[in-house]
Amino acid sequence: MKAKFKFLLFLSFLAFPAGGQYKLDGYNFGGGGSNEVGSSNYYLQSRVGGINDGMMAGLAFERQANVPKSPTVYNDGSYYNQLKITLDSSSNPSDTKFAIAVSKDNFLTTKYVNYADNTLGDTLAMTSYRSYSDWGGSNGFMLVGLDAGTTYVVKVKAMQGKYSETQYGPAASGSTVISALTFDIDVAETDSETGSPYQISLGDLIPGSIYSSNQKVWVDFETNTSNGGNVYIYGTNGGLFSVTANASIGTTTADLSVISNGFGVQAVNATQTSGGPFNISSLYNGGGEVVGLTDNVVRTIFSSSGAISGGRASFVVKAKSDNSIPAANDYSETLVVVASANY
């Protein structure tokens, strides 16, 4: 009895012309091919034609990148114009490059993350493809320039070599928050929350003596804007003005202990719970009896260069008169304190 044999040979991307001969230069199989040492790409080479007149057909296969998993889109609750994006590269080798598409209308329109500054652009360029490490690795990167109070959907595709680009993987979403500024003032001797009216008394100004207000003006300040914000101060009278005497104790930047009369503001402290830091402007940061002026020019008294939470600061007013100042009981000044966020 003749034995029967069945022989099956599976080849990938090889063409056999009718009646031709072929040569297989390499035939490691299993997963469809074998990795070359030092390269994450692999391929088969094919020869078409007769033994003596064959033609090398070149690369017949290159490794296809795997479709990336969904990225992580994160907001710590304070990001109003940015989101943290972290890619998942676990299914691809280290030389894979990734491109990121972003939309705020579920991809009715699509933007792409630019390589240079992590902002969104209208076109996808080759420079928009970056390696996992270039996208920040496990630390991710900050996608910036976003709209506040908006949900963004993010998806990623991969490219691992020529002709190997994948479709986009599953999407993930995250939302920016509304930009916020919290500001409040209190007037009290000690750190406490108070309501209006916000009034400070210096009492009787005896010529030659320096008087500091017993009450402080306390400032609450916080903002989630990435560039922080400022607290400003200015006065409407240019010092302590008396309608009755038609006279003023003018505002000044000086050490009251060495001048005859003057009026100004001195910051006491500035702290924060997180972020910031909350700083005192050098104009109002003098010690002893040094004050900063409060004329009708708006000047910064406190500032933060970054987002800040729980900012709290205070200042006092100081005044000195002399015998050249007419006596009256209606010397007063209106100080205006303003806060703004920096975008």
- pLDDT single digits (tens) 219-275: 999 999 889 999 999 999 999 999 999 999 999 999 999 999 999 999 999 999 999
C-alpha distances out from residue 51 to 24, 25, 99, 203, 220, Å: 12, 13, 45, 113, 87
**Mean pLDDT score, 127-133:** 94
For 137, the 3-state DSSP assignment is: helix
Looking at the structure, do residues 79 and 21 belong to the same domain, yes or no?
no
Is residue 107 a part of any domain in this protein?
yes
The pLDDT value given to residue 61: 52
163/30 same-domain check: no
Residue 55 and residue 82 in one domain: no
Q: Which pLDDT band holds residue 3 (cuts at 50, 70, 90)? A: very low
Determine, yes or no, domain membership for 123: yes
Q: Which residues pair with 141 in a beta bridge?
A: 85
Q: Say which amino acid occupies 279.
A: N
Task: Report whether 301 contacts 183 (CB < 8 A).
Answer: no
How many angstroms separate the Cα of 329 from the Cα of each of 151, 203, 240?
Answer: 59, 10, 11
Q: What is the mean pLDDT of residues 182-207?
A: 93
Of the candidates 293, 242, 229, which has an alpha carbon nearest to the alpha carbon of residue 263? 293
279 in the same domain as 141? no
**Average of per-residue pLDDT across 28-54:** 44
CATH number for the domain that contains residue 126: 2.60.40.10
Determine, yes or no, domain membership for 309: yes
| H or E segment to which residue 103 belongs | strand 97-103
First to last CA, the chain: 90
Q: How far apart are CA 342 and CA 308, in angstroms?
A: 12
pLDDT of residue 43: 45
Q: Is residue 27 scored above 80 in pLDDT?
A: no
Per-residue pLDDT at 62: 59
- Flag whether 1 is in a domain: no
**CATH number of the domain that residue 212 is part of:** 2.60.40
CB 101 within 8 A of CB 112: yes
| Mean pLDDT value across the chain | 86
Tokens 């080798």, residue located:
93
5 located within any domain: no
- What distance in Å separates the CA atoms of residue 104 and residue 102, rounded to the nearest whole number? 7
Same domain assignment for residues 232 and 330 = yes
Question: Which of 156, 175, 194 is the C-terminal boundary of a domain?
Answer: 175
Residue 52 has pLDDT above 50, yes or no: no
- The confidence score (pLDDT) of residue 58 equals 52
| pLDDT recorded at residue 161 | 81
Predicted local distance difference test score (pLDDT) of residue 77: 85
CB 167 within 8 Å of CB 98: no
Looking at the fold, whether 243 and 319 belong to one and the same domain comes out as yes
pLDDT tens track for 61-82? 556 899 999 999 999 888 889 9
One domain, residues 290 and 206: yes
**b/e map 214-235, b = 16+ CB within 10 Å:** ebbbbbbbbbbbbebbbbbbbb
User: Which one is predicted more confidently, 153 or 16?
Assistant: 153
54 and 143 co-located in one domain: no
Pairing of strands 22-24, 45-48: antiparallel
Q: Do both 202 and 280 map to the same domain?
A: yes
7-21, 174-188, 257-271: which has the minimum mean pLDDT?
7-21
Kindly state whether residue 9 falls inside one of the protein's structural domains.
Answer: no
Say whether both 138 and 276 belong to one domain.
no
Contact 148, 79 (CB under 8 A): no
Domain holding 36, by residue range, is: 14-63
CB-count burial class (<10 Å; 0-12, 13-18, 19+) for 135: buried
Q: How confident is the model at residue 89 (pLDDT cuts 50, 70, 90)?
A: very high
Q: What is the DSSP string of 273-325?
A: SEES-EEE-GGG---TTEEB--SSS-EEEEEESS-EEEEEEEEEEEEE--TTS
State percent of the chain over pLDDT 70: 82
User: Where does a domain end: 113, 148, 175?
Assistant: 175
SS3 258: helix
* Residues 324 and 200 occupy one common structural domain: yes
**Distance between CA atoms of residues 276 and 307, nearest Å:** 6
Rounded CA separation 12/44 (Å): 8
Residue type, 313: A
Of 321, 330, 202, 214, which is closest to residue 262 (Cα–Cα)? 321
Residues 170 and 185 both lie in one domain: no
pLDDT at 55 over 60: no
Please check the confidence at residue 36 and state whether its pLDDT lies above 70: no
Residue-level pLDDT at 46: 44
Determine the pLDDT at residue 179.
87
Name the range with the highest mean pLDDT among 13-17, 20-24, 33-37: 20-24
Domain assignment of residue 319, yes or no: yes
pLDDT tops 50 at residue 15: no
Q: How many domains does the chain have?
A: 3
Using left for φ > 0, alpha for ψ between -120 and 50, and beta otherwise, residue 80 falls in alpha
Query: Mean pLDDT, to the nearest integer, of 166-189?
Result: 95
Range of weakest confidence among 53-57, 74-78, 327-331? 53-57
The Cα–Cα gap between 312 and 190 comes to 13
Using the 3D structure, point to which of 157, 175, 193 is the last residue of a domain. 175
Q: Is residue 4 part of a domain?
A: no
* Exposed e or buried b per residue across 242-275, where buried means at least 16 C-beta atoms within 10 angstroms of its C-beta: beeeebbbbbbbbebeeeebbbbbbbeebebeeb
